[in-house]
Amino acid sequence: MNNLERAYSTSNVETVEDTKFNIKSFEKSFYSKTSMYAFFATIFLVFTMWIGTGQFAKIDLMLAGYMIASFVFVIGLIVRVAAWLVRPATKQLVKTSIQNLKSGNRSKRNVKSIVITLIENIFLQKFIFKRGIYRGIQHWLIAWGCIGSFAFTFGLVFGWVHFRLIDATTYQIMVFNIPMISMHANGFFAAIMYNILNITALMVLVGVIMALVRRLHNNDLKVTERAEFDVLPLYILLAVTVTGLFLTVSYKFLGGFIHPELALIHQITVVLFLIYFPFGKLFHLPIRPLAIGVPMNYQEEHMVDTRSCKKCGTKYSSDDQISDVKAILHEQQFDLQLEDGSYLADYCPSCRRRIRAMSQLNLGSVKGNPYGPVQTNNGIHIPGFGRKRSDEFYNKEEK
Amino acid sequence: MNKIMYLEFERCIGCRSCQAACRECGGHDAKERNYVEYVDFFESRQTYPMLCMQCKDPACARVCPANAIQITEDGVVLSAMEEKCIGCRNCTFGCPFGIPKFDFEENKMYKCDMCYDRTQHDIAPMCASVCPSDAIRFIDFDEMQALRRRRTQMNLIEGKKPTEQDKWQYVPEFFGVYSD
């Protein structure tokens, strides 16, 4: 094949590849997969803004600072979630969850586990109440205050929701520029809509004060807490809620006293909060939905194990989970296979502890049947036993 | 941290003081994080204390889907961060030594963290500070090396191995059994 032919054939191959759209080749035009996802998310958000604000006609430029911070927030979340999904353990759980969601014969179990997790784990947060009523109330108030504020703020900032005056006494809520609910301008529902951020802010304020009191008074916590990780988010939340509530106080009761300055200060605190969110403790919010995967993949019934230990036969896990754990360990080059071909994950935790102790005491069943009785006489002298020691030992200079 | 944990299983007398001391710790909610178990109950009453090995590359952290298990600057592998842990128990099955414990009620994993708040200031962990038979010790590296050398020396000097015929030769003197 001469050069001309080779050049011809390669260009031919390229044209064949170009004809079908390939996500892999599309990825190559970005710096990384993460930047591609961030790009798509930004485009999608701008598109929803375009629809919601009626081709940017009703865009609220008072919220421009919030808007830019929200874009940074979304991109930060995507960067962090992508970095987190790269980990083999996370990837495996997500992969198994998607497989199980697709398979038809598990649909009943899937729906049941999703509903139970959403209600008990995410909405009611029962497990935190078990750690203490005080902690439960505090966390629930902060969590749902924040999520409520997020929902309403993003709705307004990206223009997904806005209000329209139909006649002198009727307001209408427009969601994505589609008229949804009409309400009396002075009615009860309208009052809730106007004050929803005040309500969520009060929830967060109470929760944050409870949390700060706990952090300041509990000596056990003080030993292990890290100020920049555990306490900083609380102060940021406090700053956001206090400045936000003071805005309301200013225009309701003080006749707009230093309102423009307050609005600016509040905007600065919110921007700080949004930029901090993906990189600090509060990042546990977006990864929490992964908890759905636990009952869906591993534990059909809470606290009921189905797989029995290879050695002692006690129930300690489920087959799906052990095969997943083995796959994750294998992917990361952990060689936890024993001589007889079984893996350490096949044994229950107490048998694993015993295996370690026995091998360190040279008591492992090295000879003969590995499941037979243990050979205690292994030919190794355990020190500290009483045959007369040689004089050489006693005459040695003590250190 | 300049000191190291040194365990000698055959010194364990099974008094479980280490577990009681562990329960006393403030953040532990009166649940111990270490183990005292029989090596083989049908053979002897020998027990052993079991703590976390604080692996350099911990399998528990590697199998955690939420990235909840963190390592301190001293190399101590911590319990799962409470806010991240999703309660899947992968860590208890990934750990080659069966160390992490799981609390179903509170939906979180907890494990021995070598009392890192104490040991980072070279204070002995709770279990080592109470062990009456020195089965768990928190000692200098040099001291540990000396102890290990001594064990090897004793095996070399008196390297004869007990057999079925002369096993009584190897019973401790203070048991009151003499061969001659």
pLDDT score, position B121: 92
Residue A225 CA to residue A232 CA, distance in Å, equals 11
* A64-85 and A259-276 helices, crossing angle to 10°: 10
Confidence of residue B157 (pLDDT cuts 50, 70, 90): low
Tell me which CATH code domain B1-51+125-159 carries: 3.30.70.20
- What percent helix, strand, coil does chain A show, rounded to 5? 65, 5, 25
The more confidently predicted of residues A369 and A233 is A233
Nearest CA in chain A to B164: A377
B108-110 and B136-140 as β-strands: parallel, antiparallel, unpaired? unpaired
The Cα A382–Cα A361 span in angstroms is: 9
Residue B136, H or E segment:
strand B136-140
**Cα angle B72, B77, B79; round to 5:** 105
* Rounded-to-integer distance, Cα A215 and Cα A225, Å: 8
Terminal alpha carbon distance of chain B: 49
Considering only CB atoms, which chain B residues are within 8 Å of A133? none
**Residues A16-59: pLDDT tens digits?**
445 556 777 778 888 888 999 999 999 999 999 999 888 888 88
Residues 6+ apart with CB under 8 A from A97: A292, A293, A296, A297
- Please state, rounded to an integer, the average pLDDT across all residues of chain A: 85
Residues of chain B contacting A386 with CB distance shorter than 8 Å: 169-175
Give the integer Cα–Cα distance in Å for B155 and B158: 5
Give the span between the Cα atoms of B66 and B84, in whole angstroms. Answer: 6
Expressed in angstroms, the distance from the first to the final Cα of chain A is 81
**In the predicted model, is pLDDT for residue B169 greater than 50?**
yes
Residues of B in contact with A380 (CB under 8 A): 155, 161
pLDDT reading at A218 higher than 60: yes
Domains B1-51+125-159 and B54-113 share a fold: yes
Widest pairwise Cα distance in chain B: 66
Judged by CB atoms within 8 Å, which residues 315-374 of A form the interface with B?
316-317, 321-322, 324-325, 328-329, 332, 334, 336, 344-345, 347-354, 356-358, 360-361, 363, 374
User: What's the CA gap between B155 and B161, in Å, rounded?
Assistant: 9
What are the φ and ψ backbone dihedral angles of A343, each rounded to 5 degrees?
-105, 155
Q: Which helix (H) or strand (E) holds B22?
A: helix B17-24
C-alpha torsion angle, residues A161, A162, A164, A169 (rounded to 10)? 90
Kind and range of the H or E run holding B138: strand B136-140
Per-residue pLDDT of B110-139, as tens digits, reads 999 999 999 999 999 999 999 999 999 999
Give the residue extent of every domain in chain B.
1-51+125-159, 54-113
CATH ID of A31-91+108-294, from 3.40.50, 1.20.950, 2.40.50, 1.10.760:
1.20.950
ipTM for the predicted complex comes to: 0.85
Mean pLDDT of B142-155: 77
Least CB-CB distance to A291: which of B67, B87, B93? B87
Q: Which fold has domain B54-113?
A: Alpha-Beta Plaits (3.30.70)
Answer yes or no: are the C-beta atoms of A93 and A48 closer than 8 Å.
no
Interface test with chain B among A84, A113, A223, by most B beta carbons within 10 Å: A223
- The residue ranges of every structural domain in chain A are 31-91+108-294, 305-360
Classify burial at A346, counting beta carbons within 10 Å of its beta carbon; exposed 0-12, middle 13-18, buried 19 or more.
Answer: buried
CB B68, CB B90: distance < 8 Å: no
In a mutational test of the B interface, the residue from A387, A396, A398, A399 whose CB has the highest number of chain B CBs within 10 Å is A387
pLDDT of residue A56: 86
Residues making up chain A, counted from first to last: 399
Residue A74 tokens, joined: 């979304």
What number is the average pLDDT over the span A367-380?
A: 56
Q: What is the distance between the alpha carbons of residues B46 and B135, in angstroms, rounded to a whole number?
A: 12
Please determine, for residue A13, whether its predicted confidence score (pLDDT) is greater than 70.
no
What residues does B48 pair with on adjacent strands?
A: B37
How close, in Å, is residue A197 to chain B by CA atoms? 25
Contact status of A284 with chain B (Cβ, < 8 Å): yes
Residue of chain A whose Cα is closest to the Cα of B160: A381
